[in-house]
C-alpha cells in the first residue's frame, strides 16, 4: 500500500480502510461489555395500521411504515447513543445485497467502470510515483500469526487489479460466486447502480428499522443470543482476529446472499457478510443532536455534512451491517444498532450495498 500522509493509494485513508473505521474498531479496548437488550418500554416497535401490504416487486420486500427506538443500549458504542425514537414512511428494500450476477447485468448494460477499476489521479496522490498509480482496492490478507490490533495495515493490503470482477486480485474470479454480494463497491458505484435500476440507497434509519425485522430492542437482527441453539445465523468471524478464523459458519470470505436465514421481514444479510452503504453522511455526534427533539423524528436523512473527530479531514458515509470480518472479540458491528463509516470514494473486499425504493 502506498501512502501519502494519511492517504492510501486507491482513495482509502488509514483510519477508514474499507469504510470500517479501523481506528474506532481496532484501537478501542478489547474489553467485552456484557451486552443487554434495550428495555421494552423504550424500544416498542409500532407499525402503522394504515400501511397495508403492496403488490410484490421482484427481489424486494415492502417494509411497513412505523416507529422504533434507534440506538444501542449498553453496547459500548458511543456513536449509537442516545437512543431516540424514529418514525418512517413505508418503503421497499432489496431482500439481499446486490449480487455479482446483478452487478454484472448493470455493467453489461451501462459499461460502468467502478472506482477500483479506474486509474488513480496523480493530483490525489502527488507523492506516489506515476508507475504505481494503478487500479486496485484494499484486500484482507490474514497474517501468519497473531499481531497487535493497532495497525490495520498488518492485515489490509492494497492489491493492484482487485475489483468486483477479481475480489482477491489477478487470478481470482466471480464465476463461482454469482450469488455472492458484489464487493469492492464504493459509495459512488452503489449510487450509480441504484439510480440505473430506478431505486436509491437506503437511509441509515431505514436500514436499522428493517434489520430489526419487527423485534423490539434486540441486540441482533434475530434476537439477543448471538448463536441460538448453537447455530450461526450470520457470516462473521469466529476465532482470533485477524490471523485465525475457525470458519464455524462455513465461510472464510463472502457467502451466498441467502446462505443464512432471513430476519422477521424476510430480509437476508442484514448482519454480516458485507458492509452496506447507506445514503447518510456520518457524524459521530449525530444522535446527540437529535436528543432534544420531542416526539418521533420523521424520516431522518442524516446530517447535512460529515464530521468524524478521529479523521476530521475526510467526509464519510454511514455503512451498516458489519461483515465477514466482524468478530465477537473485537469488531462487533453485526450488532443491529451499530454504525460503520467509510470514505465514499473507496471500497474493499468486504464492502457491498443494497437498494431501496419509495
Mean pLDDT across 277-303: 95
- Position 41 scores a pLDDT of 44
Q: Kindly report the pTM of this predicted structure.
A: 0.89
Lowest mean pLDDT among 30-34, 125-129, 157-161, 256-260: 30-34
pLDDT in tens, 168-205: 999 999 999 999 999 999 999 999 999 999 999 999 99
Per-residue confidence at 138, pLDDT binned at 50, 70, 90?
very high
Find the DSSP H helices in the chain. 22-26, 40-43, 100-110, 187-196, 204-212, 286-290
**Chain CA centroid to CA 181, Å:** 12
> Would you state the cell numbers that stand for residue 256, as one nine-digit string?
451466498
How large a percentage of the chain has pLDDT more than 90?
A: 77
CA 235 to chain centre: 13
Write down the pLDDT at residue 56: 83
Rounded to an integer, what distance in angstroms lies between the CA atom of residue 209 and that of residue 282? Answer: 18
pLDDT at 110: 98
**Res 308: pLDDT:** 96
Average pLDDT of the chain, as a whole number: 88
74 neighbors 33 (Cβ within 8 angstroms): yes
Structural domains for the chain: 3-44+59-357 (3.90.1580.10)
Looking at the predicted structure, is the pLDDT value of residue 123 above 60?
yes
pLDDT digits (tens, 9 = 90+) for 6-64: 344 543 333 333 333 333 333 333 333 345 444 444 556 777 776 777 788 999 999 99
Q: Which three cell numbers stand for residue 270?
A: 442484514
In the predicted structure, residue 266 carries a pLDDT above the cut 50: yes
Q: State the helix-helix crossing angle for 100-110 and 187-196, rounded to 10 degrees.
A: 70
136 vs 73 pLDDT, higher one? 136
Q: For 316-346, how does the pLDDT look when each residue is reduced to its tens digit (9 = 90+)?
A: 999 999 999 999 887 899 999 999 999 999 9
Predicted confidence at residue 43, as pLDDT, reads 53
What pLDDT, on a 0 to 100 scale, did the predictor assign at position 25? 32
What pLDDT, on a 0 to 100 scale, did the predictor assign at position 184?
98
Range with lowest mean pLDDT among 105-119, 270-284, 324-338: 324-338
Mean pLDDT of 291-296: 88
For residues 215-233, give the mean pLDDT: 95
Which pLDDT band holds residue 75 (cuts at 50, 70, 90)?
A: confident
Mean per-residue pLDDT for 75-84? Answer: 93
Query: Residue 163 above 60 pLDDT?
Result: yes
Query: What is 3-72 written as a DSSP string?
Result: EETTEETTTEEGGGGGGB-HHHHHSS--PPP---PPPHHHH--EE-TT-------TTEEEE--EEEEES-
DSSP three-state, residue 297: strand
Using CA atoms, how far apart are residues 101 and 294, in angstroms rounded to an integer? 45
Amino acid at each position: 500500500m502506498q501512502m501519502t500522509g494519511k492517504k492510501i493509494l486507491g482513495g482509502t485513508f488509514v483510519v477508514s480502510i474499507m469504510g470500517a473505521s479501523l481506528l474506532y474498531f481496532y484501537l478501542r479496548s478489547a474489553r467485552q461489555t456484557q451486552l443487554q437488550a434495550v428495555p421494552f418500554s423504550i424500544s416498542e416497535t409500532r407499525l402503522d395500521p394504515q400501511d397495508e401490504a403492496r403488490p410484490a416487486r421482484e427481489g424486494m420486500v415492502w417494509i411497513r411504515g412505523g416507529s422504533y427506538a434507534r440506538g444501542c443500549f449498553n453496547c459500548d458504542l458511543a456513536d449509537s447513543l442516545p437512543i431516540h425514537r424514529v418514525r418512517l414512511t413505508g418503503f421497499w428494500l432489496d431482500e439481499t445485497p446486490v449480487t455479482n450476477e446483478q452487478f454484472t447485468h448493470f455493467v453489461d448494460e451501462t459499461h460502468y467502470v467502478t472506482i477500483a477499476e479506474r486509474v488513480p489521479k496523480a493530483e490525489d496522490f502527488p507523492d506516489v510515483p506515476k508507475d504505481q498509480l494503478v487500479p486496485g482496492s484494499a484486500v484482507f490478507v490474514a497474517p501468519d500469526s497473531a499481531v497487535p490490533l493497532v495497525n490495520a495495515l498488518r492485515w489490509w493490503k492494497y492489491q493492484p487489479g482487485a475489483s468486483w470482477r477479481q475480489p482477491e486480485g489477478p487470478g481470482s474470479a466471480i464465476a463461482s460466486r454469482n450469488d455472492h454480494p458484489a464487493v469492492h463497491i464504493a459509495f459512488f458505484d452503489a449510487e450509480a447502480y441504484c439510480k440505473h435500476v430506478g431505486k436509491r440507497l437506503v437511509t441509515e434509519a431505514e436500514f436499522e428499522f428493517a434489520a430489526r425485522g419487527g423485534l423490539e430492542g434486540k441486540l441482533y437482527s434475530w434476537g439477543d443470543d448471538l448463536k441460538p441453539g448453537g447455530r450461526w445465523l450470520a457470516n462473521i468471524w469466529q476465532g482470533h482476529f485477524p490471523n485465525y478464523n475457525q470458519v464455524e459458519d462455513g465461510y472464510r470470505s463472502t457467502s451466498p446472499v441467502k446462505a443464512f436465514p432471513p430476519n422477521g421481514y424476510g430480509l437476508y444479510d442484514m448482519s454480516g457478510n458485507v458492509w452496506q452503504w447507506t445514503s447518510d453522511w456520518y457524524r459521530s455526534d449525530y444522535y446527540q443532536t437529535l436528543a432534544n427533539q420531542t416526539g418521533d423524528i420523521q424520516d431522518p436523512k442524516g446530517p447535512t455534512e460529515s464530521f468524524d473527530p478521529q479523521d476530521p479531514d475526510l467526509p464519510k458515509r454511514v455503512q451498516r451491517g458489519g461483515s465477514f470480518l466482524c468478530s465477537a472479540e473485537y469488531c462487533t458491528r453485526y450488532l443491529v444498532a451499530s454504525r460503520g463509516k467509510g470514505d465514499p470514494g473507496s471500497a474493499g473486499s468486504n464492502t457491498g450495498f443494497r437498494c431501496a425504493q419509495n
